Structure 1
Amino acid sequence: MKVFDDKHIKNVVFVGAHNSGKTTLAETMLFEAGLLNRRGTIEDKNTVSDFHDIEHERQASVFATPIHTEWRNYKINIIDTPGLDDFIGEIISSIRVGDTIATVINGRHGVEVGTEIIWNYIDKYNKPTLFIVNQIDHPDCSFDDAYKSIKNLVGNNTVQVQYPIQIDGAQCIIDVLKMKCYKFGTEGGKPEKLSIPKEEKIKADALHNELVEKAAENDEALMELYFEKGTLNENEMRQGIKAGMLNHDLFPVFCVSALHDMGSGRIMGFIDNVAPAAADLKPEQSVEGDTIVPKVEAPTSLFVFKTLYQPNLGQVNFFKVKSGEVTVNDKLTNARTGEQEVINQLFIMDGRIRQAVQKLTVGDIGATLKLKHTETNDSLYSGNSPITIKPIIYPEPRINRAITVGNKADEEKLSEALKRIHSQDPTVVLRYSKESKEQILSCQGELHLAIIDWMLKHDYKLQPIYSKPKIKYRETIQRSSTANYRHKKQSGGSGQFAQVHLKIEPLQAGMPEPEGFNIRGKEDVALPWGGKLVFYNCIVGGVIDARYIPSVMKGVLEVMEEGPLTGSFIRDVRVLLYDGKMHPVDSNDISFKIAGAHAFKEAFLNANPKLLEPINELTVKVPEEMIGGVMTDLQSRRSIIQGFDNLDHYQILKCTIPSAELFGYSTDLRSITQGKATFSSRFSSYQPVPNNIQKELIKAEV
């Protein structure tokens, strides 16, 4: 296969909401380039990019899939991404390595919530972006409304390059960059090039002039030329559009019918002639603070943006060459692990099809097999100076489930399978909770969970069981209390004896030291589960030997690890050991630990104990017209509204909500808003549980 240099490699990522037509457009572009003799369809389950069994079953993209085509001496790498935000990890990783983002808009619906979510990441990474309004030949398409929605999303820097019209029942596209009218037959394909109809000339000229002005604004030399001539020629306009895209200040808008192959060739021509190549992008800074020079002469650096496990192949790592070049048998170092990897094979991947190559150069995207120490987000480099590409920051999970399997023998197999799924998709997180003794699976939503479940059942032959995770309550006290306990045990020979007197108090920030006690020592313990224990040694007269004091504290901590109300951790208590007794023969460490534990438990139960529950800060982005239903639902979940912000036609609602009330919220919010709202949450603090709920929780533990 021909090796392309960085000036002739275009990396384009197709993003957009579900059912916008990304996969169909990618298939059509491969067909237009002559790489396919026949276009596949999603319904026939034979498209190049949607090749996984789960994608065939759901008839929707689940994974980001790299494919490529060649067009007029350029190599175009395309990454076809899913449209649902449950698979945001696949989308973000693709955006990260894209040079141009092609955002596909369903012309019947305009910008949808999925597009808005994706746009936030495009904007964050400052990526050159073009918009493509699809389904222009559908009776319900409204290009003007779709264009307005794009303008509402990204602002006044949008600019029309094309718009659709009908002429004598035939679908046409007016192109105001080339000032041509493209007329398509019923089968699409190569259009007839016509002059712009007289009735469209005024509109086309106005849009052309607007495009000229927008192009000129992005380059001082072009602006001077524009003032001098009053216009720009086509090449000068291309130069200005590219500059605007690179500055993230200009967003050209095109139109197509991907299904009927209308306008896709023109999109490919624009990608070739105008869209930024890898060589045009600004150099990145490595984690070490050095400039990663995107030149073939520079040391080699690769960024691994995706991992996939395929039957009969094993682990496939997809990467972008950020500098230098990589050849078969190269030895590169993993910047995270320090381990050396040998690149035994290099491939260009087109869905499930792989083409072996000997070399890939800077700017290109490829894949390799069976790296031993490398995962998604890793950097590989040559030479002695580490080159670490800044990693992708993935969003926090939104739902949690406790997960296990019915067959205990499969538990290790389940853990290994979930680790592999996490390797493919870092937004899938698995952790073991020592507190609740559960494996917790976290992901982006119910659909995301359904895909994980499908993979576990079909790919790993497991039968997972899901349940609501136990809420991590805490126990504390609301007033002071005293107790004493005598531990005495005689069973022949040396016995056990210890007696302790304790006083316990609620621990509050800034409270003064206790009065009326002779404080001999103080232990300030930051508890692993949050909060503190402050333990005072107030023993006088040697009634308890100093060597036994730590054992009393160990007994207290033992109870704090499993509180008497619900078995939850105890926090924020101070304990004063002020009296006791010992025996010269029978006293020992274990005796004082037992006595301390019993005394503390008794004092705790007499100190008006209180359950605390985790509270989350919740942010919900919801269309204005749907805010009422969202608020009603949140009020039923014991939330406290903190405030609102306005963002275009959305309300940003902020509230606090008990973690226990978030179970199932993702599904309910999607139902209430028809999938048009999004949310994020994070832990905030522990707050007292209402008395009626506390009684129910304690009763459930009995």
Structure 2
Amino acid sequence: MSYDTKNLRNVALLGHPGSGKTSFTECMLFEAGDIQRIGSVEEKNTQSDYTNIEKERGNSIFASLTHAEWKDSKINILDTPGFDDFIGEVVSALKVADTGLMVLNAQNGVEVGTELIWDYVERFETPCLFVINQLDTEKADYDATLQQAQDRFGEKVIPVQYPLETGVGFNKIIDALRMVMYVFPDGGGKPEKHDIPASEMQRAQEMHNALVEAAAENDEGLMERFFDEGTLTEEELTEGLRIAIAHQDIFPVFISSAIRNMGSGRIMGFINDVCPSPADRPAARLVGTDEKLACDSNAETTVFVYKTMTEPQVGLVSYFKVYAGTLKTGDELVNQKNQTTERFGQIFIAEGKNREPVTELKAGDIGVTVKLKNTHTNNTLDEKGTDIQIDPIHFPEPRIREAVQPMSANDMEKLYKALHQIEEEDPTLIVEQNATLKQTILHGQGQLHLDLIKYRIEKVHNVTMEFTKPRISYRETITRSADSMYRHKKQTGGAGQFAEVHLRVEPYTDGMPDPDGLSVRKKEVEELPWGGKLAFYWCIVGGSIDAKYSNAIKKGLLQRMEEGPLTGSHCQDIRVSIYDGKMHSVDSNDMAFMLASKQAFRAAFKEAAPQLLEPIYKLEILCSDDAMGDIMGDLQTRRAIIMGMDSDGHYQKITAHVPLAELYEYSNRLRSLSQGRAKFHQEFLEFQSVPHDLQAELMKAHEEELSEA
């Protein structure tokens, strides 16, 4: 069945690990009649956590898509993981969701995963409901959890329901919106409606008035009726709440026990009646234009792929949202990134791993297709003749790096192929084949994220691999002037090789004066591919070296600077002046002068007080007050320079400059120090001198590596 846009609801279930999102998804599907039995994480039979690794771990790792038909609506449910390592799955789900359902564990209150995900809820400006779950547990505390949510997320967090009692006796929900008490049977399921007890009427009425006031604030007519009559009709209240939720002016709070199936039906009814459809949300932002794309099923078709996965026996599976028009089986659309035409031979709606074929999906709906040949995450596909690109998902930057290599050299090509396939599916993973460091480096969200990559490589692609510590991309330079010469002479019978080069090396800075005592004939300042500069001065007077050899001499210098004399790292910011030499009319050639310049440069470099430089990163850490001392102490052990401390909302912000060499596995350390209540951002700042003792250690290690080669 194809649903009109106004009858669609796209809901992302969000929350810290263990809050009960997957169990709540099971309740929603059961209440809608889509499944006949509620599965459990412990029994490994839920609709959403269906992959082998999710069953093994007992946690969501991928954002899975299911759907429930409720009254006249279709509710697409995106069950997302709670671990910050898999935040990319959350971000992609929020891109296509129109409502967020933030699930809180009543035993633990607002946890760190909730706080981190909320930043993205605000970034996407997603309307959101809160569900205080697990009220049937002994340590459940509704009041404390509600207070924490209001303290953290503001006065817009307004309760709709509260429990008559919590713990193992939880079975009564007082609903202040409908002013009724729901009483559930022992096994959960469909409740009976009862009058609110007289002892609870004042509290329920106060909550009801707060909801009416919030609903009336967005409409002058409703506000006038509220002042005149002191209340609103159910229809007026529903309309006012719909507007308030769509504009993020209210975040209603519901309660539930997902394990005992209490409360989910009422929440689904609210989603159906009050939460926005795709047509009620702001028009989609487009790339390269100020225009926006309205969610209209009568427009030309535009589809956005928000997620891709490779499945055994199936191949590439693409998850998409129809942003405009109506997608039909057999439609051919153009991928705007590479201009290839893709045919949607099959269209499915998803129930976890199970898929049901459909003939069409209208604007706002979410679906699945298979075997798109040249389409990946973040690609937009349009009807031919249309040039529209949906603003892509902006994924968070990596926070951890590990070098990777196969256990067998014979598996190198298979490993590269597997890594790049996963990289196409997972935009939060960056695979870097670093020729300078001679390593393949993975950049990911955290150790758990990279461990998942390793699991997939070994289990799916049958390649055994290991992580190793990434090398650091150091730079080499000099701190004073030095002169040197080198004569290259080789006689092998017949034409030989001869070249003699005299040169001076100096630290280079823009605008520096010409070298003393030399007559500069030609200047070339070259931007080096790895950063920094080489200033090449031709100062030959009298023709001791023919100018035709200048390019060969310069080429020799560049080759030598690619692997510096100290540690084999790139050299930078050096001026080389060629001021004398000798040549032979028969034996001199380009190769001879290349070799001579390389050796002369090497000798001069070592006499010019060489200095090793290391990459320094600017680190910004957001943490709670109680973790600040431990984090500061740890930074001091990492040769960090603390640049400042400030407050940023409810976080404390620490700014520091830290060598990259000291940031290895910092993500894990910060998580341990803060109990997960911290996050950080890092960006390259500059190269700075390595301390003398560390430079000596690195030079010694390089010499040992060369001797073992």
Matches within 5 A, 1:48-63: 48-63=47-62
2:283 partner letter: P
2:172–2:182 contact (8 Å) kept in structure 1: yes
> Larger deviation: 294-303 or 676-685?
676-685
SS at 1:254 equivalent: strand
Question: How far has the Cα of 1:239 moved from its partner?
Answer: 1.3
Instruction: Name the SS for the 1:166 alignment partner.
Output: coil
2: CA distance, partners of 1:625 / 1:544: 69
Amino acid of the structure 2 residue aligned with 1:267: I
- Equivalent position of 2:681 in the other structure: 680
Q: Which amino acid aligns with 2:44?
A: K
1:158 aligns with 2:162: no
Supply the distance in 1 between the matched residues of 2:219 and 2:21 (Cα, whole angstroms). 32
Instruction: Check conservation: 1:165, 1:173, Cα contact below 8 A.
Output: yes
Q: In 1, Cα distance between the equivalents of 2:241 and 2:678? A: 34
What code does the residue aligned with 1:248 have? Q
Q: Deviations over 1:599-649 (max 9, x none)?
A: 111110000001101111112222211111111111111111111122354
Unaligned runs of 5+ in 2: 704-709
Q: 1:571 Cα deviation (Å)?
A: 0.7
Contact 1:105–1:131 (CA under 8 A) maintained in structure 2? yes
Counterpart check, 1:325 vs 2:326: yes
- Quote the residue 1:606 is aligned against: 607
Question: What SS does structure 2 have at the residue aligned with 1:297?
Answer: coil
Secondary structure in structure 1 of the residue aligned to 2:164: strand
Mapped contact 1:188–1:262 kept (Cα < 8 A): yes
Distance 2:544 2:169 in 1: 103
Q: One-letter code of the match for 2:79?
A: D
Offset of residue 169 of structure 1:
4.4
**Deviating more after overlay: 362-371 vs 586-595:** 586-595
Which structure 1 segments of 5+ residues have no match? none
Of 403-412 and 294-303, deviating more is 403-412
* Percent identity for Structure 1 against Structure 2: 47
Query: Does the CA contact (< 8 Å) of 1:299 and 1:383 recur in 2?
Result: no
Q: Tell me, yes or no, if the aligned pair for 1:288 and 1:387 is still in contact at 8 Å.
A: no
Deviates further, 105-114 or 282-291: 282-291
Which has the larger displacement, 502-511 or 533-542? 502-511
Task: Give the 3-state SS of the residue equivalent to 2:48 in structure 1.
Answer: coil
Which residue in 2 is equivalent to 1:212? 212
The answer as to whether partners of 1:534 and 1:574 remain within 8 angstroms in 2 is yes
State how far apart, in whole Å, the 2-side matches of 1:670 and 1:263 are.
Answer: 34
Counterparts of 2:433 and 2:674 in 1: how far apart (Å)? 33
Matches within 5 A, 1:137-536: 137-166=136-165, 169-289=169-289, 290-536=291-537
For 2:162 and 2:169, locate their aligned partners in 1 and report how far apart those are by CA, in whole Å.
16
Instruction: Write the deviation string for residues 359-404 of structure 1: whole angstroms up to 9, x where unpaired.
Output: 1111100010000010000001113021111101111111111111
Deviation at 1:675, TM superposition (A): 1.9
Q: What CA distance in whole angstroms lies between the structure 2 residues aligned with 1:145 and 1:424?
A: 40
Q: Is the 8 A contact 1:181 1:196 kept in 2?
A: yes
Q: How does 1:589-604 map to 2 (within 5 A)?
A: 589-604=590-605
- After TM superposition, the structure 1 = structure 2 runs for residues 618-633 of structure 1, keeping only pairs within 5 Å, are 618-633=619-634
The one-letter amino acid paired with 1:294 is C
Deviations 1:671-698 (Å, cap 9, x if unpaired)?
A: 2222222222121111111111111111
Change in 2 beyond 3 A, CA 1:510/1:220 = farther
How many pairs were matched up?
701
Kindly report which structure 2 residues correspond to 1:651-670, keeping only aligned pairs within 5 A, or say none. 651-670=652-671
Instruction: Provide the secondary structure at the position in 1 that maps to 2:173.
Output: strand
Query: What is the TM-score of this pair, normalised by structure 1?
Result: 0.98
SS in 1 for 2:186: coil
Q: Tell me the CA shift for residue 548 of structure 1.
A: 0.5
Which is further off, 603-612 or 142-151? 142-151
Q: How far apart in 2 are the matches of 1:117 and 1:534?
A: 48
Residue in 1 aligned with 2:43? 44
**2:84 is the counterpart of 1:85:** yes
CA deviation profile, 1:139-186 (whole Å, cap 9, x unmatched):
211112211222223222111111112299452111111111112222
| Amino acid across the alignment from 1:424 | E
Q: Which residue of 2 aligns with 1:588?
A: 589
CA-CA distance at 1:595 after TM superposition: 1.1
Task: Report deviation, 1:285.
Answer: 2.9
Q: Answer whether contact 1:170 1:185 (CA < 8 A) is retained.
A: no
The answer for the alignment partner of 2:20 in structure 1 is 21
What is the Cα-based RMSD across aligned positions, in Å?
A: 1.4
1:444-475 Cα distance to aligned partner (Å, 9 max, x none):
11111111111111111110121001111110
Say which SS state the counterpart of residue 401 (structure 1) adopts.
Answer: strand
When structure 1 is superposed on structure 2, of 137-146 and 527-536 the one drifting more is: 137-146
Distance 1:251 1:257 in 2: 20
Equivalent-residue separation in structure 1 for 2:187 and 2:508 (angstroms): 77
CA distance in 2, matches of 1:553, 1:648: 55
